Chains A and B, each alone.
Chain A
């Protein structure tokens, strides 16, 4: 069977119940495709085994790049390329360059991190999302299980989901 096409979904209302249900489902040997919810559920990432995001590191690297570029730009422009006498002061000195350096550090760090987030999460204006249930953005949480990646048949998965207190259990097929 093809993967990423045929899913079994369990629908829940309570975020704490979702965490418990996910633990139980994984405990019974079923692989969860993903959990979808209208707001972040705390603790679900650990249950699903997601590692901490590396975005803070990305933000730091972009920030460091901003600092270096800003300093190079200012020292090169006013110190090397075209030195100007302004009020009889040094052509280039560090203290007056700090504000612009700080601002460019923050700017590159923020834009770099958000850009990375958009790319790795595949967020773009022309993307049509795959919605497992239209109520995900309203008040329901969904645990999606890819049938092709599990050896159990639908009825078995269904009975496990029923045990966890799912309100509804549906099949969802994407063409």
Chain B
């Protein structure tokens, strides 16, 4: 198998194209591990003020390399080119400590799909930041992403062991995965009947009054919301986040905003409430971020469709990368007020 993989032609990617940056790299790592296709990426983040790989990208590369015994070159901070030649995916027990350079969830997202197709069951623990800006929080993966995967046949359990907020980190997410032969396509064109809306204000080492103000503000904008304060041990802090979980019969969405020093609690609440309201007012099955996370599993299943509120630039970038690795065609079309994404075997 090894020799066959080595014979596979290299895929060349341009890191300066589209959204570029980390998303192209992470999708490419996942797909490379699963398909056994080696790839080279150049001009990584070429036009940014800090060009090349950042530490958060390296953590994903190192985790991916560990799981499939890949041969990697160029995996250094600031490097603008990387080559990744995967070996066979090896199930087993893994622990990655990534600090706060990046997010546990981004690492999980990169390597979990590979473990779905491993030879044996796996456990995985990633420690560091679990609730960072610019990354989906662990709650989102657990409550929104995972149930949809389960419907596609993925046997995976995610658990948030400890919260880790930026910048202190110190959180941990664990996962256990049983391998599956293949994924079932799903169609998510409508969300079904509304089940309930829950808001949760997390505080760690931050006064409870902040959480109360946030929930009040959310309630003022979304009438039917059910609010709850979660006070975490202060050693997990300092940190504050507001999550709104919107459950429908067909899909659960989770929206998040992070509290930050200098940012009034009301503004944090407004951010997340606005995002949730926009979703509620739309007819789309999933929101922008869940759409991004859904694309790759569907592509691995070889088909499916969903509707989403908007097509982000991440989605377009991901589409281009996926079509290079997998024999699928992805169609992204505006349908009235929603965007319909359909995947078919090429």
The answer to whether A binds B is: no
